[in-house]
Amino acid sequence: MNQPLKPLVLFGYAALLLLLIAAPTEYIGVYPVFMMKLLCFALFACSFNLLFGYTGMLSFGHAAFLGGSAYITGYTLKAWGITAEVGLLLGTAFGALLGLVMGYLAIKRQGIYFTMITLALAQMLYFFWLQAPFTGGEDGLQGVPRGKLLGVLDLSDDMTMYYVCLAIVAIAFLFIIRIVHSPFGHILHAIKENEPRATSLGYDTNRFKLLVFVLSAALSGLAGSLKTLVLGFATLTDVHWAMSGHAVLMTLVGGMGTMAGPLVGAAVVVAIENKVGEWGNAIAALSGIEWFRSLGESVTIVTGLIFVVCVLLFRRGIMGEVLHLLRGSKN
């Protein structure tokens, strides 16, 4: 990060945090559950960006970590009656363990072969979750209780749950920042730029790639666990390969290899998915073209169009282009 931009970036993070704190209050009035869903997907996108944006490893299996941890957390909360914090820890640990196994098998290959191995392993797990007796099959795992955090905070209240969710995501985001700007993060960047050169310098690149894969999987697992706690259910959508595509979409739209990019990408994608029906009705009312009322059922068309526009006009993603312009103005 350029030194002249550092104060501006810190100010931006502080402003974003204040905005998120005020979002569900009467001053802004955003629905808390919508904001919590956005935060969960933002964390999911940031965890994927740690692997893809900063290490150059394109995984199409991250849905396995998000959805698998969602099922584990949901089942343990519902069937075992454990507390919320233990459920989140179990889900995160499951994501890390699954990442260790998948990563060990996948990192031995590079490029498209690595990508296809992660996709294949994730699809194998998809059919496991489909047939497992405790997941509810196509109906999903329903009625997951929120319970209390540390036996004190009643998470059934949406406002309390929102600020707990915000705190968890903020801490995870700071953890990702610390990883990226540490010596370990610099090695990851070297692997992305020129892996043979990093190997020639004496680094065991496979060990570093496995470690970042596990870290990314654990953070994705935390996002999935938190999503189940917030929404009260886990479904096959969470483990479907399209969810991995969502991570790619949010990262590329927001800006691959930038810290704030996945946050912006997640906000754009989640907002489109939740509001496109309302926007379609409004456009239909103004234009008189009834076809726009069907946009809510064809949200993939809109997200695909947004993706194409970003690829053609914003090659660095939204935040990537913003940072490029700011760096240009500082020179």
pLDDT tens track, the chain, 331 positions: 545 557 777 888 888 889 899 888 877 778 899 999 999 999 999 999 999 999 999 999 999 999 999 999 999 999 888 889 999 999 999 999 999 999 999 998 888 999 999 999 999 999 999 998 889 888 889 989 988 888 788 888 889 999 999 999 999 999 999 999 999 999 999 999 988 999 998 899 999 999 999 999 999 999 999 999 999 999 999 999 889 988 998 998 888 888 888 999 898 888 887 766 565 566 666 666 655 556 656 667 777 777 787 777 777 888 888 777 877 655 4
| pLDDT at 10 (0 to 100) | 81
| pLDDT at 294 (0 to 100) | 61
**E strand segments, the chain:** 148-149, 153-154
| pLDDT at 4 (0 to 100) | 52
pTM over 0.85: yes
**E strand segments, 88-185:** 148-149, 153-154
| pLDDT at 75 (0 to 100) | 93
| pLDDT at 316 (0 to 100) | 82
Strand partners, 154: 148
Q: Indicate the DSSP class of residue 236.
A: G
Q: Find, among 242, 305, 272, 195, the residue nearest to 34 by Cα.
A: 272
Query: Using CA atoms, how far apart are residues 166 and 160, in angstroms rounded to an integer?
Result: 10
The answer for residues whose C-beta is within 8 angstroms of residue 275's C-beta and 6 or more apart is none
Query: Using CA atoms, how far apart are residues 35 and 263, in angstroms rounded to an integer?
Result: 12
Residue whose entry in the numeric block shows the structure tokens 């496109």? 276
